[in-house]
Each structure stands twice: as C-alpha cells, then as structure tokens.
Structure 1
Amino acid sequence: MTNKSKSKSKKPTAKAKDTVTPFVAEKAERIRLKQLAKDERTWKIVGLTFLLISIFLIIAFVSYFFTWRQDQASVSRGIEILADVDTTANNLLGKTGAIVANLFIFKLFGVASLLVCTFFFVVGVNLLWRRRVFSIWRNLKYVTLGMLAVSTILAFILRKEEFSWGGGVGNVISDWLLASLGFVGASAILLLIVVAYLIWQFNPVFAFPKKLSRPAVAGAEESPKDALPLAEHDFVKEEEKEPAKPKIAPLDAATLIVDDEAAKPKHKIGLIEKEETAPKEEAKGFEGITVLKPEARIHFDEPEAEPEMKKELEIEKPKPAARPVVTTGGLKLEINDAPLPKTEEEEKVTTPVEKAKAYEPTLDLRDYQHPTLDLLASYGSEKVEHDPEELENNKNQIITTLRNYDIEIQRISATIGPTVTLYEIVPAAGVRISRIKNLEDDIALSLSALGIRIIAPIPGRGTIGIEVPNAKKSIVSMKTLLSSDKYQNSAHSLPIALGKKIDNELFIVDLATMPHLLMAGATGQGKSVGINAILVSLLYKKHPSQLKFVLVDPKKVELSIYSHIESHFLAKLPNEEEAIITDTKKVINTLNALCIEMDNRYDLLKEAGCRNIKEYNTKFTSRKLNPEKGHQFLPFIVLVVDEFADLIMTAGKEVEMPIARLAQLARAVGIHLIIATQRPSVNIITGTIKANFPARVAFKVSSKIDSRTILDAGGAEQLIGKGDMLISLNGEIARLQCAFVDTPEVDKVVEFIGYQEGYPQAFLLPEYVDEKELESGDFDLGDRDSLFEEAAKLIVANQIGSTSLLQRRMKLGYNRAGRLMDQLENAGIVGPNQGSKAREVLIKTDADLQQHLEMLG
C-alpha cells in the first residue's frame, strides 16, 4: 500500500514538473549564469586557472627533458595508463604530466612547445587584472608561427639525434623540405626565415661605405649641406597645390529677357544651383530661365570689379605656415614637408623626450579602430536633378499669382535643394513685403503644393524667398556627409553631421559650441533618425576614451540598439545592470549623478586653474597635473533623452530642475544635452529649459503654436515631413533635409565597435542616493559603511576632514560621502561640523587610528 501511494503521488508531481517547472528552472538558471559571467570574481578564478595551467605545462615539459627515456614505454599507451594503478611515471607531475609533455614535445612541436606556456600566462594575467596587460592575439600569432618555425629548424639541424627536438610536426615539415628542395634548398629556406625574423624585429640599416670626398676645385659651387635628397626635395603633396582658378564666363550673354503675352515689364529669370561637386561654370538651362552658379551670381552684382578682383587673387597668395600645427584628440595633424629651421626654444619644446612624456588617453584601447564608411548604405545618385518643366511652371504660377494682386517683381531666381526649391524674388519699388507674406496660401493653392513657406525677407540677401517642395525628392545619405572633406577634416570637438541645406551645402556643426540641442516634432517625422544621425556621426569621429553617452529611452526600443557598445562609449550608475536607462526613478538618479559629476569636474578645474575642459585636458596630457590628487583625463559626456514629455508627465520638477541646472552650467566641463520630444507644448518645454537651449531643431509639427514654442517663430507647421526640418542656431533659422541612416546601418556600426576590445566596464557616474530614502537619526557603528575604514585612513593621512575630499579621492556621491563623514564623527575620528571650514581631525597618526578602530571592534 505504501508503494502504491508513493507511485500515485508521483504522477501529478511529474505532470506538474513537465508543464511548469522546467520553464521556470531554465529561466532562473539562465539569469544566474548571466550574473555569474558578469561577476568580477568569476574572471579572477578563470585567470588563476590559466596561470596554474601555464605553470603545470612548464614543470611537465622541463621534467620531460630528463625523464623521457624512462617514461617513453608507458606513455606510448596513451591515456590508458591513467586507469592503470600499477603503472608509474618519473615526471614531476606524474602520469598526467608525462602524457601531456609527450603529446606536445614528442608528437607535435618539440622544444618549441614551451611557447604554449606563454599563451596561457598572458590570458591568465589579462583575466586576473581585468585589463589588457598583454595582447592576446599578438601573443597567439607569435606562438603559432614560432612553434612552426622553431620546430622545423630544430628538426632539420638535429634530425639524427635520438631526442625529438623538433617533434612530429617539425619532422614532417623538415622531411618535406628535404624531399622537395634538397639539403641546399631547404637550408636556404630556413636561413631566409631566420634572417627575415631578425630584419623584422631589429630593422638593421644596410648602407654602402661612404666615398672619400675629393678636394674642392677652385670656382666650383659647393652643394648646400642641408639639401634634401632628390626624392624628398621634389615631392609635393597633391592637396597642397593651389587649385586652378575657374574661369567665369560673362553673364550678359547668359541672362535672358522673358516677355509675357501682355507686354508687361520684363524680368531677368535666373536659376541658381549650388552643388558641392558641380563644376563652377555656366550651364545653359531651359528656355526662359538660365542656370547660374554661385560665382556667376556674385559677379552679376559687381561686374566692373571683376578684373581687379582677379588681379588681387593672383597677387595675394596664402602664406605658408611658419610652424607645423600639432593637435590632439583625433583631429588632423598637418606638418609641412620642408619645415623652417626652429629656434632653440621651439627645439626644446618639441624634442622626442618631451613628446614621450605626453599622456595619450587613446592608448588604453590602442587597437581600437573607427568604423569604416562601407558600413553605411548609399541611396542611389544623390546629385540634385532639376526638372526644367517643373521649374518653368512654378515660376509662371508665382508671377501670375502675384500679378493678380497687382504685385510686380524685378527678378526671380531658383536654388534647387534635395527636397525643396527656393525661389527668390526681388519686388518692384514700392511693394510692401507684408502683401507678399499674406499671399502664402494663395501661392500654395496656385502651385498645388504642400508646405509652401515664405521668408520675407531673407536675412542678408535683400530678396524674398518662397520655398516650394520638389515633385521628386532626393535622399541625403549619412555616408555622403561622413565621407566629405568638411567632416573628415573638421577641427570640431564634437562634430555632428545633420544634413544638407537648400543650396546643397553640408550642415556640419560642433555640438560643443551649441552647446545643447532641443529637438521637437510630431510622431514619425524624423526625430529618431535625427538622433541616430547625431550619435553615428560622433561614433565615427571620437575614440572611446574621449566621449561617453548617457542614453535615456522611456520608450525602451529606440536606443536599445546601442547597448552593444556599453563597455566602449556608454556611462551608467554604479551597480546598474543596463546602461540604457528606461525607468523614471533611475532617470532621476542619473540626472542628479550627472550634476554631482559636474560639480566634481568644476572642483578639478578650480584646482587646476583652468576655465574649461579643453584647457584642463591639455594640462593633464602635458603631465602638469598630479593624478594622485584626483586629477584624470575628462571625456565629453553627451546626455540623450529620447522622449522628454513622458519624463515631465511622470516626474515633473524632479526631472526639470537637474536638466535646467546641467543646461546652465555643464557646458564648460564637457557635458552636453540632446533633448527630444514629440509634444512641444509650453508645459513640456518651459521657459527655464528654452532659455538654456539656444540650438533647437523642429521637424514637422501640427500647429503654428507648436512651431512658435520650439523655434519662437512659425514655419515648422509648413514642413513636408520625412526629415525636413528647421534648425535655429545663433539667431538664424535654416531649413535642412536630415541625413538618413537606417536601423540596419546603425546595427552594423554598433556591431563593428562592439566586437572590438573595450573597457572592463562602462564609465561609472558618481553614486547618488535620494535624500528621501535616508533615515534621520544617529548612525549605528555596527551598521557602518563598507568604506568606513578606507575613508578613515584617507582623512587621517591628509589631516583634512572634508566631504569633498572623500568625493574626489573615493569617487563617491555627495550623500554617501556625507554619511561617511557623520559616521567618522560618531566614531570620534573627526570633530563636529564647522560650517564652511573643514572638520578637525582628532586622530593624528595611522597607528593611533588602527588602535582606535580595534577598540571600536
């Protein structure tokens, strides 16, 4: 009965196990293994294991050299001897050591097998210290090639010896060389390998002995001592040559007079097409409208000054730089081929010894490679193609509509962009600009177009602009912008490539000078693509040591693609698993942690006597600041918030205040903000935020009120969407077509970076603890902080009872440092708070401190 009851009770348990338990157990184990793999202790254990393997192999190999004769008979049986209790081995590591040594030395690579030990040692050291002390791949390459070469050479030289110096692999290669090339040929090949290795390692100089100089002949000219060799003296870089001056044809023959049927006043109609790659010459357009280049237009205004201007251009040539310009931080390095002689002071500054002292932060990841342009896609021909019939029809409709309201114009011209064509008109004398501005809807009706925008007047041009969308739009690919010389040779600290203007000029600006960017627009109009364009353009230019991102994504899907570069470019709070922040509570803590980071950086700048991050980093790389005092190289930090409206709705002031504080103060210390929202209403984009975001981007919005909220001007409601945007920068508003970068392209760029070696962990922000979570009252010494003793030693060693000292040296947040200071006060190590002055340190020596801590238990 007992057995039956047991069997019956097992059935439902088994059934439940089959249905529920395996799934839960598998999920729990997967989570546990993931946490175990991320644990620092796991890597240390694995590193120690590799070091033990390397020591094991060295002992086994060395012992084999002395015991191979005695153990040869037994190890020839293979791993069977491990199960045989009666069989013994003379190797120091017993039968296992004898089998492993026989495998590597006798059957594989001979004495060269000792190189395998270095591989396990290198891997073990890197894992134990959690950083790249040695290059694993370089060591693996040398070990593989070295074992093949050394085993072959030893087998060839000592092939008649009883001991297998070259091992089985060496003997096979040596015998093949002897059979194929003979003794002389094989010797020559192996000698070539040895000599090639020595040349590669030591690079000796091969030069003929110098001839004795003959006595100088009277009347002969002596060659200058400092003359360069012919190959160097005559070499001129192609980019340093002066470009040929384009010849500009006169405009009188190119400008046509257009008569209408009613014999109205005549208009000069010109089409201005500015294109980056187009030749600067005059091209004939369709009948009734002339295609003019930008240079032609300039000379149209002042034709009489053209000969003098050309003469000045021929006489005044740019002078060569007196000294080469040397810059750091991933910028271009320009050095003249034949530099001028240096003065003693210059020679003293640029000596190799001084250069060797400079600190280079990129050496932490010296093998890091920037993404290549072939990861990005090209979207067909991006050359702007104009339809003559479309331009002619639009021109006639604009003239007809204006004449219907008794508005005459003197001239009309067109500039074709990727998505919009700008028609510029010069009204006749006495015409009020407001009359043309009020006809915006009438012109849109006559052209049957969506998104007509009138600029009256165009700043600095003396014309009125009418922007009309093209019937056939061109895609501006990210690859085009990043491959341009303007981006590749930019000297910006944080260059971002946003898109193309109406005149096809590339719009590439420096985020560090903006210094913050506010983006708004309706859903699906291009905000996420714009954020990706900014992030990708920064990833292509900056090294992981120079830039960190703090990504806030309440939607949880837009920025998650960048999680693969966590150890390279992302920053996060301590003890957080995910670097992409999606929880509102964590967003608040992160923003406050950024404020603490900002305050800490300002403290460092104050101590260093610098005004901004650029001066500070220059001082640090010149080794003028002491790292032992808390100084370090400061990377730029870019905070990206994808949906700001959701944060304001859920957190309100808790988010708005740190954002406003960062926008006001963080520019000088290298912290920049990019805020995006799809609701540009006044309760989301408040006056406090707008005042600190001078650079603003507006995609298409639903109403003129939203446009005025984001830009303080209308026009964003007239955009046509799909990347069409207005940017307000330095008081000017420009219309751009945003660069398009698709999600698969971003995937490729992120994977390219993610597969490379990164830092052991993401960049850690200072710890922040919400004051509401802190309990009031005295601290219990039995429940003191884990860093209590370390903080006590630091305070006693410096004899300064300062909370900011704990923050800088121990990289703590203000709240935790304050709690530590209160615990030190309760423990009798420091005195009470004295306002702005540092607390008195009551214990003077480390010995007294140790005795005091022992008394506290």
Structure 2
Amino acid sequence: MAGNKLKSKETKKKPEPVNPGVLKPDKEAEVKVKELVKDERTHKVVGTILLLLALYLFIAFTSFLFTWQEDQNLVWNNGFNILFKDDVVVENTLGRLGAVVSYWFFVNGFGLASYLFCYMLFIFGVNFIVGRRVFRVARNLKYIIFGLLYISTTLAFLGYKAEFPFGGALGNQLNRWICGFLGSVGMGLLLFVVGFVWCIWKFNMQFKWPESKPKPPKPAPVAPVEPVVANAKPVVAEASFIPSIPQEPEEEILPSKPNTLKDNGSIHLTLPEDEEEFEQEYQLHVKEDIVTPNVTYIPPVATPVTAEEDLEQEELEAAMQLVMEERDEPEEEDVPPVMEPTKRKDRNAVNDIAFEIKPIPTEDEVHEEEEFTAPQRVLSSDPYEPTLDLRDYKYPGIELLENHGSDKIVQDAAELEKNKNQIIDTLKNYDISIQKISATVGPTVTLYEIVPAAGVRISRIKNLEDDIALSLAALGIRIIAPIPGKGTIGIEVPNVKKTIVSLRNMLASDKFQNSTMDLPVAIGKKIDNENFIADLAKMPHLLMAGATGQGKSVGINTLLVSLLYKKHPSQLKFVLVDPKKVELSLYKLIEKHFLAKLPGEEDAIITDTKKVIHTLNALCIEMDLRYDLLKEAGTRNIREYNNKFTQRKLNPQKGHRFLPFIVLVVDEFADLIMTAGKEVEMPIARLAQLARAVGIHLIIATQRPSVNIITGTIKANFPARIAFKVSSKVDSRTILDTGGAEQLIGQGDMLISYNGEVVRLQCAFVDTPEVEQVAEFIGDQRGYTDAYMLPEYIDEKDNEGKELSLTDRDNLFEDAARIIVSTQQGSTSLLQRRMKLGYNRAGRLMDQLEAAGIVGPSMGSKAREVHVKTEADLEEILNDLL
C-alpha cells in the first residue's frame, strides 16, 4: 500500500505533456512606471503638451485684452457653470474655456503679469523636448516669481482708477496694504527703488564721476636706496627637484625561497631549481618616491627681490639639497649581500637581467582648489590694455570642473613582473638576448624599455610584435624600435587598470598656470605621467582624425576649454563650424565674448555649407587685411604688431586696431569636402599656408582619414596631427605618415605628431556638463554688444548678370568717396582697411567711383588717379547724383 501511495504521488508531480499543436498565449509586457518616466519619448510628449499649453494661454490672454468688457460679466454671473451652458456666447477667441481661464488669471490673479506663466511653460517645454537644460530653470523661476509680485503691484498702483484689472486681485491687495502702511508717496518711492536695484543687480550699470587731474607732487629729498639685485626673479611657485639616480646594485643569486618584499622597496624573485632554461635571478628595483615639500603657490608679481630675500632663498635651497642628498645615500643595513653568479655551460643561458621600474615624476603636482589662480591682468594707465573693454570679466574657476578619479597612478607590481617575464620568455624563444629591461607606468599604458645585447638586430624584435601580444594576451601592443633619442627599444603594453586623466588636474598644474605661451592647450599626459601642454600658436595648425567614438569630440572640448581658462575675450575669438549641429552648440552661450561671425548672421555657430564657404572666404579677407596692417606697421607677426599697438606706436585713426587671435574649429571636415569640395578646400589651404603670422589658427577634425579627404595640400600645411584609434594601417599612415594608430586601445588613447616626434598620450577628459557650466559662467557675465564681426563676403555668383548703375549705388558710396578724396589715394585695399569690407564689395565701390568720375580707371597694381581734389568739388558731384 505504501508503495502504491508513493507511486500515486509521483504521478501527480509529473507535468502534463505539452501539446505541440496548441500555442501558449504570450505574456504581456509589464510597463514599469520608472522606465516610462525616464523614457525619452515621454519627455518629448510632455514638452510638446507644455508648449501647446503656453501657446493656448497666450492666445486666450491676448484675446481677453480686447473682449474683457463683454466676457467679464458673463463669467462673473455664471462662474464655472458657464463651461457647460451652450446658450452662452462669449467673445474670446478660444471660447468659454479661454474666457474662464483668462478671467481667473487676470481678475482673480496677477493681471497683465499673468503672461509670465506662458514664459514659464515655454522654458519647461523646450527643456523637455531638447532633452537638456537649454534654459536655467532655477534662475528663471526666481525672475518669474519676482516679476509676478512686482509687476502686478506696480500696475495696480499706476492703474488703481482703471476698470481693467491691470494688477489683478493680488496686485490690488498688496497695493492697498502697502499704501495704507507707507502712503501713496512712499509706495511710489518703494516701487522705484526696488526696480532700480533690480536693474543694477541684473545689468551691473556703471556710475562714474569725472576725475580731477592730480597736482604734480613736490620733489622729495633723496634718501639712500638699498641695493637691489639686478636680475631679480619673481617668487618661485613651487620647488621642484630632480632626484639623483642611485647606482644599480650588483646582481646576485639567492637560494630558492618564496618571493619576498623587503623593507628597502626591492622585490627579489626566484625560480624553481628544476627549470634549467630559466635558472636566472631577476631583481626588481623600485625607486623610492621623493617627497616634495609643500610650498604655497604665489602668483608671479613684478616686484624685485632684495639681496636679503635672495640670500634666504639660497640658504633654503641649500638645506633642501642637503636633505635630498642624505635621502639618496643607501643605509648599510639595507644593502643585501652580494653573491657571485653561478656560471653555466648551456649556450642559451644569459646573464642576469636587471628590471627597473622608473618612478613617476612629481614635478607637475597639481594645486588644491583653493590655490588655483586665474591669469593675472596688469593694469597700466600708460600703455593700451585691451582687457579694459571688459574690466569686470572673471576667468572661470577650477571648481567648475570635476575630478574624475585619482590623479596618482597605482603601480601593480604583480602585473609588471608578469609582463616582464612574458616579454623575456618570448624573446628567448627566438634566441634574442637582452641586457636590461625597465618599466615606466603611465595612465593607460606601460612602456617597457629593452636594451638588446650586442649583435641583435632591431628588425627581429620589431617583427615579434604579434608574438609578444599573444603571450601577454593584451590588445594594442606597440613596439617602438628604437625610441628616438635613446638606445633602447620600447614595448607599450596597455594597463589592466586604466587611470582617467582629468582636465581639472592639468589646468591646476604649475606647467599650465605659469605658461607664457600665446595659446596654451592642455592635451593629455605622456606615458611617464608628464603633462603635455603645447602652444597652438606654434603648431600652428592641428589636424585631428580617428574612428567614430574614440574621443575626437572630447579632444576638441579639451582644447577649447583650455583656451577659455587662459585667455581674455579681447585676446581670442573662435570661429566654430559644426556640420553635425549638436557637437559645438554648447558654446552658443559665449557668443558675445569669444565667438566671431559674419555680419547679418543670427547664429554664430555655422552649420550650413554655403555659410561655411562664405565664412572661410571672409577669414581669407581678414587675413589679407591683417597682412596689410602688418606691412604698414613694419612688423612680421601678430605679436610684434600688438606690442607696437599696446605701446601706442600705431594710430587707430589710420585703421590700426588690436588684433585678437582667431581659432577656426571644423568638427567634421569630411562632410564639408563631400558637399562643397574645392570651394572649401581652397580657402582652408590658403589659411593653412599664410594665416599663421597674423594669428589665425586652424583645428580640423574628421572621422574618415582617407586620401581624398585629407589631401596632400592640406597635410603639407598641418605639421601637428593627432590620431585617435583608426581601423586600418592605411588610415594611420594617412594621418601620421607612419603606422601605430590602428593599435591604440580607444577612449582617448592617441598619438600626436609634433615637432617631428610621435608621442603617445592619454587625452584629458572633460564631460559635457562641465563644458556647459564653464560656458554658462562666462555667458552670465557682461560681454560685448555683439560677436566679433568678420569682413563681409559677397559671392561673385550672386552678382553675375547685374550691370553697374549709379542709380543703384552702394550704401557706403558717399563714405568711400570722402575717404578717397581726403587721402588722395585711389586704392581698393585702403577701403578694405578703413571700412572693414571684403575685396568684392570694395572693388564694386571703386568701380562706382570710377563711373561717377571721382577716380580714374584701373592701372594694374598701382593706385587709381583721383580726379576730385577738394571736398567742396566732391559735395557738388554728390548733390548732382541725388
């Protein structure tokens, strides 16, 4: 019976057989509320609804302004019941609902200030649709709340006798209470003061009183002057030391014991006795890090240093050097005993190989946040100072950027030892002997430097690139044979744990803060953890290329943010070309500070291909105008010209002006070449060939580095090139004229060809919200009235077929005629400089002046003859033309 019961239970537990002919119903997908809220489509739907609601309120409010007398009594008598009464006819454009909503907002609410609710719904809707913060919500909400209270109260005070509810119920209530408390006069004064204070806070209005000239001081008696050092130097920002390299201890062989880490920082490794081929001792020497004393960063000043201070500085340096020498001397008790190596008769056996891990240099230590100082601005009343146009401009602070991870590189001794052994074993398998191997740990890769034995061909090691990559099981092995300037061969191996290079730490370093470069850009860090900061003005142009998603956009943001942290708006202008329309849109906020555009254009960031062609040609015109100014000033480059101008040696009335640097940034060059071709390539080639001396520099990026995009004409004028990871060796050779870019590991890993040397870097990382914060910080400050205007360019194709007629004269015809007559020089370039015109428009003006008889015909390279000698004769001619 028991057995039968067990069988019956087993039969009950068996699952029912599946009928293949019957299909089970599919499970309905569960919709999670969190995923629905975070969905991008939900945000777009909400944004669309908010925009439509804003438009609905705007139309209803505007209609109420004209129909309030007819609709007010109807809504007052019926209340909300009017919505359900079909026999009631209202005059509002949006029907009964529009009349009720307008009535409650205007009469029972805030009056005319209710239009601010339309603006509030509009900014919320735009932010939801775009998917990012186009308008700052917190700041706008503060303005809206202040506007509701202030505008409604003010309108209620001014229109207290009017029948129309200008201030609404809230404004009338506040007006009655404050008038009862302060009186009508006090109420008026209070409203005026509050509005005036708000304008001062918002627009930072300047109030200046004419200064009286100071009287010359009386001559003071001559006092003895203490001796001053002639070649005085400013206070040093931070003391840096170059550690002396201790001599390598003699090689030793220890008994076979477990691997131990001694107190002196060296790792002694032993091998099993049964392996005859590798009975060698490898010693890992880890140098002790040098402790750099904490020195507070003091910005450089122009005050001289006295002899006593110089003596104290020398004593301090001598004491520090003595401490460093004492630290470098090894202690006797820490030195291990030296044993003679055992001799082997096996021909494959080699001498012991010393393995050294080079210390990470600490000379580029970064400052803390409170020690970051913006570039100092020298204020002088005598020379011209261009930064005084925006004297209240504040450089962005380092706190706007984030610190992504730790700046210190962690050395994994086990990983280094494993890779070293794998490299040595692979080379031994091919009968390649080496004398020494050392490792330099970087943020992304580790460089193993090998000193080959005598008689070993470099090509043999170079050909083992794939074999070493296979033994290390790593991606992106790159062999440098030999390393330029060294007698070693380099093997770059990616780290298991990569370190993010933060742009914040690079901008806070001494090398960037104290740089005297014209256009310093913080690009990234080398393998030895040294900051790579270059001068864009000496590159002088930069070509960036790489596959999609390998870091080109981040690299462009890194370059632009570096320049924003170092330069004043009067010293630098950007021309941004963004065919994608989304990559460089963050910099729209700094249009009135740092951007340049064509006259008559609304958007300073160029996205249309035709406007790109006009902008490039306008830059060529600007280049020619600047060369004319340099020729008249007798200078060779922009630095000499600006020095003369700031020293007031050039007359602004003759067309001279301070010349800011102009940086042209093209995000996707391949798209422009495909759509425009030669129309884009030719002005780019002209600018790359000639624009360096006049301060115009180019940064061009593309994700398709093929020979039809990056032509020989462009490559010849871009000596500085950056290559991110590419898909093939052909692309690498197209960019760098050498291979290696196809073996990079991506995510900011790059090669830069600069000064005839190819260096591997890890690009500094700056995230999009950080760029937005920097742009908002600059955009919220007082800027120029408009962006920097480039010369006007008119395409000759637009003027084809048009005949020259004096009845259709240029608007600047009279001004150009007066300039020609007053100077008695019939030169087209003169009109370009004086009136900041393009060559085409200046040429048309000169042709119209010839038709009017003011100047003679063209004489080739010589200036035209001026027929009108006096301004009185010119006025008669101009009056006859009218």
TM-score normalised by the chain length of structure 1:
0.67
Secondary structure of 1:778's counterpart equals: coil
Q: In structure 2, give the amino acid aligned to 1:471.
A: V
Q: How do 1:575-724 residues align onto structure 2 when only pairs under 5 Å count?
A: 575-724=600-749
Instruction: Say if 1:427 and 1:244 are closer, same or farther in 2 by CA, change over 3 A.
Output: closer
* Aligned match for 2:413, one of 388, 398, 405: 388
Per-residue CA deviations over 1:465-490 (Å, capped at 9, x if unaligned) read 11000000000000010000000000
* Aligned match for 1:826, one of 851, 861, 865: 851
Q: CA deviation at 1:424?
A: 0.8
Structure-2 separation of matches of 1:490 and 1:391: 35
**Structure 2 match to 1:549:** 574
Per-residue CA deviations over 1:698-725 (Å, capped at 9, x if unaligned) read 0000000000000000000000000000
Instruction: Say if 1:835 and 1:117 are closer, same or farther in 2 by CA, change over 3 A.
Output: farther
* Aligned match for 1:293, one of 340, 359, 362: 359
Structure-2 separation of matches of 1:404 and 1:377: 48
User: Can you give the 5+ residue segments of structure 1 that lack an aligned partner in the other structure?
Assistant: 1-6, 19-25, 32-77, 85-98, 143-200, 203-223, 230-234, 297-329, 335-351
CA contact (8 A) 2:794 2:841 kept: yes
Structure-2 separation of matches of 1:757 and 1:373: 20
Q: In structure 1, give the amino acid aligned to 2:276.
A: A
Q: CA deviation at 1:775?
A: 2.3
Secondary structure of 2:425's counterpart equals: helix
Structure-1 separation of matches of 2:825 and 2:290: 62
**Structure 1 match to 2:205:** 136
CA contact (8 A) 1:276 1:504 kept: no
CA contact (8 A) 1:270 1:412 kept: no
Does 1:107 pair with 2:107? Answer: no
Q: In structure 2, give the amino acid aligned to 1:447.
A: L
Q: In structure 2, give the amino acid aligned to 1:392.
A: E
Which 4+ stretches in 1 moved above 2 angstroms?
78-84, 102-110, 113-123, 224-229, 235-251, 253-285, 287-296, 330-334, 775-778
Q: CA deviation at 1:240?
A: 7.2
Q: In structure 2, give the amino acid aligned to 1:262.
A: E
Secondary structure of 1:745's counterpart equals: helix
Structure-2 separation of matches of 1:228 and 1:119: 55
Does 1:418 pair with 2:443? Answer: yes
Q: CA deviation at 1:226?
A: 3.2
Q: In structure 1, give the amino acid aligned to 2:679.
A: E
Per-residue CA deviations over 1:168-191 (Å, capped at 9, x if unaligned) read xxxxxxxxxxxxxxxxxxxxxxxx
Q: How many residues align?
A: 635
CA contact (8 A) 1:274 1:503 kept: no
Q: CA deviation at 1:780?
A: 1.8
Q: CA deviation at 1:854?
A: 1.5
CA contact (8 A) 2:791 2:838 kept: yes
Q: How do 1:326-345 residues align onto structure 2 when only pairs under 5 Å count?
A: none
CA contact (8 A) 1:694 1:729 kept: yes
Structure-1 separation of matches of 2:815 and 2:197: 35
Per-residue CA deviations over 1:257-292 (Å, capped at 9, x if unaligned) read 86654265857655678999879878999x995544
Q: In structure 1, give the amino acid aligned to 2:828.
A: T
Q: In structure 1, give the amino acid aligned to 2:611.
A: K
Instruction: Say if 1:121 and 1:357 are closer, same or farther in 2 by CA, change over 3 A.
Output: farther
Structure-1 separation of matches of 2:414 and 2:708: 47
Structure-1 separation of matches of 2:187 and 2:94: 52
**Structure 1 match to 2:105:** none
Structure-2 separation of matches of 1:699 and 1:423: 22
**Structure 1 match to 2:276:** 262
**Structure 1 match to 2:756:** 731
Q: How do 1:290-439 residues align onto structure 2 when only pairs under 5 Å count?
A: 290-293=356-359, 356-439=381-464
Instruction: Say if 1:623 and 1:116 are closer, same or farther in 2 by CA, change over 3 A.
Output: farther
The more displaced of 800-809 and 593-602 is: 800-809
Per-residue CA deviations over 1:136-178 (Å, capped at 9, x if unaligned) read 1668xx9xxxxxxxxxxxxxxxxxxxxxxxxxxxxxxxxxxxx
Q: In structure 2, give the amino acid aligned to 1:252.
A: P
Per-residue CA deviations over 1:704-748 (Å, capped at 9, x if unaligned) read 000000000000000000000000011100000000000000000
User: Can you give the 5+ residue segments of structure 2 that lack an aligned partner in the other structure?
Assistant: 1-86, 99-117, 124-156, 164-177, 214-222, 251-263, 294-323, 336-352, 363-373
**Structure 1 match to 2:225:** 226
Secondary structure of 1:461's counterpart equals: coil
Structure-2 separation of matches of 1:244 and 1:439: 39
Instruction: Say if 1:118 and 1:720 are closer, same or farther in 2 by CA, change over 3 A.
Output: closer
Structure-1 separation of matches of 2:577 and 2:495: 36
Q: CA deviation at 1:370?
A: 0.5
Q: CA deviation at 1:331?
A: 6.5
Secondary structure of 2:692's counterpart equals: helix
Q: In structure 2, give the amino acid aligned to 1:239.
A: V
Secondary structure of 2:466's counterpart equals: helix
Per-residue CA deviations over 1:586-641 (Å, capped at 9, x if unaligned) read 11110010000000000000000000000000000000000000000000000000
Structure-1 separation of matches of 2:528 and 2:636: 38
Q: CA deviation at 1:293?
A: 3.4
CA contact (8 A) 2:268 2:284 kept: no
Greater helix share, structure number: 1
Q: CA deviation at 1:426?
A: 1.0
Structure-1 separation of matches of 2:492 and 2:288: 16
Instruction: Say if 1:798 and 1:258 are closer, same or farther in 2 by CA, change over 3 A.
Output: same
CA contact (8 A) 2:355 2:436 kept: no
Instruction: Say if 1:245 and 1:736 are closer, same or farther in 2 by CA, change over 3 A.
Output: closer
Q: In structure 2, give the amino acid aligned to 1:468.
A: V
Q: In structure 2, give the amino acid aligned to 1:107.
A: G
CA contact (8 A) 2:592 2:787 kept: yes
TM-score normalised by the chain length of structure 2:
0.65
Secondary structure of 2:639's counterpart equals: helix
Instruction: Say if 1:252 and 1:114 are closer, same or farther in 2 by CA, change over 3 A.
Output: same
**Structure 2 match to 1:67:** none
Secondary structure of 1:721's counterpart equals: coil
Structure-2 separation of matches of 1:551 and 1:639: 6
* Aligned match for 1:782, one of 804, 807, 819: 807
Structure-2 separation of matches of 1:502 and 1:515: 24
Q: How do 1:59-70 residues align onto structure 2 when only pairs under 5 Å count?
A: none
* Aligned match for 2:249, one of 252, 272, 290: 252
Q: How do 1:807-846 residues align onto structure 2 when only pairs under 5 Å count?
A: 807-846=832-871
Q: CA deviation at 1:835?
A: 1.2
**Structure 2 match to 1:61:** none
Secondary structure of 1:382's counterpart equals: coil
Q: CA deviation at 1:104?
A: 10
Q: In structure 2, give the amino acid aligned to 1:664.
A: Q
Structure-2 separation of matches of 1:624 and 1:699: 46
Structure-1 separation of matches of 2:160 and 2:529: 79
**Structure 2 match to 1:147:** none
Does 1:792 pair with 2:817? Answer: yes
Does 1:763 pair with 2:788? Answer: yes
Secondary structure of 1:667's counterpart equals: coil
Q: CA deviation at 1:673?
A: 0.3
Q: In structure 1, give the amino acid aligned to 2:359.
A: K
Structure-1 separation of matches of 2:607 and 2:559: 20
Per-residue CA deviations over 1:429-456 (Å, capped at 9, x if unaligned) read 1111111111111111111100000001
CA contact (8 A) 1:796 1:846 kept: yes
Q: Percent identity?
A: 66
CA contact (8 A) 2:384 2:646 kept: yes
Structure-2 separation of matches of 1:265 and 1:83: 106
